[in-house]
Structure 1
Amino acid sequence: MRVILADDSVLLREGLSRLLEDAGHEVVAAVGDAPALLAAAGRHRPDVAVIDVRMPPGHKDDGLRAALEIRERLPGVGVLVLSQYVEQHYAARLLAGSPEGLGYLLKDRVSEVAEFLDSLERVRAGGTAFDPEVVRQLLARSTRADPLGGLSPREAAVLRHLAEGLVNAAIAERLHVSLSTVEKHVNAIMDKLDLPREPGYSRRVLAVLRYLES
């Protein structure tokens, strides 16, 4: 099969390239950031793209967003996501669409060569390949009734005050903490609730709506 590798670790890219080539596959591109991944996917139209979640330029969810864009623009390309650990909301976002030709593995699984190559073949064939630990944690997530359960007690308190209409300075005074501490909590809340950063959305308003829905 024809494969694109996308990971900011040169050692991992080279190791995977050798592994795949030894198995008879063709690595048509090996890139280290999300923009290069999107460009390579459009140019080469591979059978499968193997993508790290956290990549430059943002070093956060750039790889995942690129994976979602590839699945939208190039539905014939299989996507196998690699991650250092289970990132539940990222996995859930991937699964929100069609699961065909999709995989999510922990990087530790790459050392189990036969299992990794089998996962790659299943994704290429339009099947799925999910790490057992990813499945376990997603099932635990799906049975959790409280969508705000990932917030710390202090973050939950800050969100409650946001819903009351308080500005950050008033929240700091109410909780007897510094303004910068409140700002850090607000940013953490936005990230944990996976609220969009696109222009046109008020993440503060969306956070309050999520609180009210709960």
Structure 2
Amino acid sequence: MIAEDSVLLRVGLVKVLETVGFEVPAAVGDAETLLAAVEEHRPQVVVVDVRMPPGFTDEGVRAALMIRRQWPEVAVLLLSQFVEERYAADLLSTNTSGVGYLLKQRVANVDDFVDALQRVADGGTALDPEVVAQLLLRKDNDPLRRLTPREREVLTLMAEGRSNTAIAEALVISDSAVAKHINSIFTKLDLPPADATHRRVLAVLRYLEVSP
């Protein structure tokens, strides 16, 4: 399901997603209509513009947060014209699975956008690299200082929602090297042995300074 006030972008998103096999039961232009459509159709994932009518401030974010509270099984991918990292933090603070935050310019790369949307729909996360970079600029405190430059690169890619294999490809290193870096990150961030997926989420949250 798509919520975007720009008619051209909304129609374009529908065409792109239907072409690659997604079913789009509704495409709307405001937050109120979005909530009604989600209640009716219960989609697997919703793509939501951050700023929508009537105020063009944070209507999309508030609608996304409401969706996560009322229908936690519905994944949400926020789209924004600019980097507004606090919205990513707000969304992640409610639930750490099935969430994403991308800049609209990423939609131009269809393969990357579809990959991110599929990842979110499958219960993963997808954070725009520029959002992650902005978050990194404001973090200058322990325990993140303990990480080596390579470990910070790995954690940045983890925060973008990438798998171990995708991280290995991006950094041109082996899967086993990625696993070693991630285990070191867990240790340095004081994350005790537990379910691997759970620790991965906690590491990203620590990186973003978001309370789970």
- Provide the residue aligned with 2:154 in structure 1: none
- Provide the residue aligned with 1:77 in structure 2: 74
Structure 1: gaps of 5 or more residues:
145-214
Determine the C-alpha separation between the residues in 1 that align with 2:75 and 2:140: 29
For 2:103, the aligned partner's letter is: L
2:27 to 26, 30, 38: 30
Look up the SS of the partner of 2:54 in the other structure. Answer: coil
Contact 1:92 1:138 in 2 (8 A): no
Q: Can you list the C-alpha shifts for 1:59-82, whole angstroms capped at 9, x where unaligned?
A: 100000000000010000010000
Q: Can you list the C-alpha shifts for 1:141-171, whole angstroms capped at 9, x where unaligned?
A: 3438xxxxxxxxxxxxxxxxxxxxxxxxxxx
Determine if the alignment matches structure 1 residue 118 to structure 2 residue 115. yes
Give aligned pairs, total.
142
- Provide the residue aligned with 2:44 in structure 1: 47
Identity across the alignment (%): 60
Structure 2: gaps of 5 or more residues:
142-212
Q: Of the two, which has the highest radius of gyration?
A: 1
TM-score calculated relative to the size of structure 1: 0.64
For 1:128, the aligned partner's letter is: T
Determine if the alignment matches structure 1 residue 68 to structure 2 residue 65. yes
Determine the C-alpha separation between the residues in 2 that align with 1:82 and 1:105: 5
- Provide the residue aligned with 2:210 in structure 1: none
Determine the C-alpha separation between the residues in 2 that align with 1:34 and 1:141: 31
Contact 1:85 1:106 in 2 (8 A): yes
TM-score calculated relative to the size of structure 2: 0.65
- Provide the residue aligned with 2:91 in structure 1: 94
Task: Using the TM superposition, give the Cα deviation of residue 94 of structure 1 relative to its aligned residue in structure 2, in angstroms.
Answer: 1.2
Determine the C-alpha separation between the residues in 2 that align with 1:143 and 1:40: 42
- Provide the residue aligned with 2:188 in structure 1: none
Q: CA RMSD in A?
A: 1.4
